[in-house]
Amino acid sequence: MFARISSPAVFAGLFLTLLLGGCVSSGPSKSVDLDKARETHIQLGLRYLQSGSDNRELARHHFQEALKLGPKDPQAHHGLALLYQADNEKAVAESHFKKALRYDSKFSMARVNYGAFLYQQERYREAKEQFLVASEDLTYNRRSYALANLGRAELRLHENDAAEEAFKKALALSPNMPMAQLELAELKFEKGEYAQAKQYLDRFNEKNRQIPQSLWLGIRIEKIFGNRDKERSYALALKNLFPYSAETLKYQQMTAENEQQ
């Protein structure tokens, strides 16, 4: 993309103090305790990061404490990358993404998030490279997400056939993935394969709320098939739910053009 205690910071500090108290011992147990302390810092950092902007400084503290215990910990660097990305510190965020992957080249979650970071900056070729590597990791439990993002990057690069293949692979792994369903519907429509476009859109509509893109596509599909009632239904929903969307403007322009003909 977490007994009530009045202060989360106090709780975290007490917990870590107790945990770190065991790190004075010598021998193998010291290493184990340090690993546990580092992991705890990382988990607390992620929880604070996910809980909103008010807790970012607490998140930063825990990630930095984790790096004191393990300067090459990829998860700590990944956490800081996400934190600095949220802070809009792009250069610092990227440096931590790169460190996370330098210290663990098989860290597919970090790779996908780095790809998303690059995508947001319209660095689509670089984003594609990150998504592609992650999508080839057969052990990654969110491989379908990597594939769907790979498809999105390929669309931006006008590699439509490759994008279609990526979306189909994503659906093979996660049949109800809305992003892949909708993008495939759009691709099929653009290729003139209207029946398949409608099938993918219907699958999307079964389990997902309408968004401007899906409503606008529905209007165009039903117009092709001459289903005026369904076309009007989509159009009414688009104008009522998303009156200021780009898709509503496109619909109004289409309607105006039709009236002039």
**Rounded mean pLDDT of the chain?**
89
Per-residue confidence (pLDDT) for residue 67, from 0 to 100: 97
Q: Which of 178, 141, 139, 170 is nearest to 154 (CA)?
A: 170
Give pLDDT tens digits for 6-52.
333 332 332 332 233 333 344 555 566 889 999 999 999 999 999 98
Residue 88 burial by Cβ neighbours in a 10 Å radius (0-12, 13-18, 19+) = exposed
- Round to whole Å and give the CA distance between 257 and 19: 70
- Structure tokens belonging to residue 85: 């990305």
Sign of CA dihedral 155, 159, 161, 165: negative
- Round to whole Å and give the CA distance between 235 and 218: 9
- Round to whole Å and give the CA distance between 55 and 86: 12
Contacts of residue 144, defined as CB under 8 A and 6 or more positions apart, other chains included, come to 169, 170, 171, 173, 174, 177, 180
Task: Report the phi/psi class of residue 79: left, alpha or beta, with left for phi > 0 and alpha for psi in -120 to 50.
Answer: alpha
Sign of CA dihedral 105, 88, 63, 12: negative
Q: Please compute the mean of the pLDDT values over residues 62-86 and round it to a whole number.
A: 97
At 253, which amino acid appears?
Q
Residue 226 burial by Cβ neighbours in a 10 Å radius (0-12, 13-18, 19+) = exposed
Give pLDDT tens digits for 96-120.
999 999 999 999 999 999 999 999 9
Give pLDDT tens digits for 198-235.
999 999 999 999 999 999 999 999 999 999 999 999 99
- Round to whole Å and give the CA distance between 98 and 77: 9
Contact 219, 231 (CB under 8 A): yes
- The band of 260, judged by pLDDT with boundaries at 50, 70 and 90, is confident
- Round to whole Å and give the CA distance between 224 and 196: 13
pLDDT at 64 over 60: yes
Sign of CA dihedral 91, 96, 99, 100: negative
Q: Please compute the mean of the pLDDT values over residues 164-189 and round it to a whole number.
A: 98
Give pLDDT tens digits for 130-151.
999 999 999 999 999 999 999 9
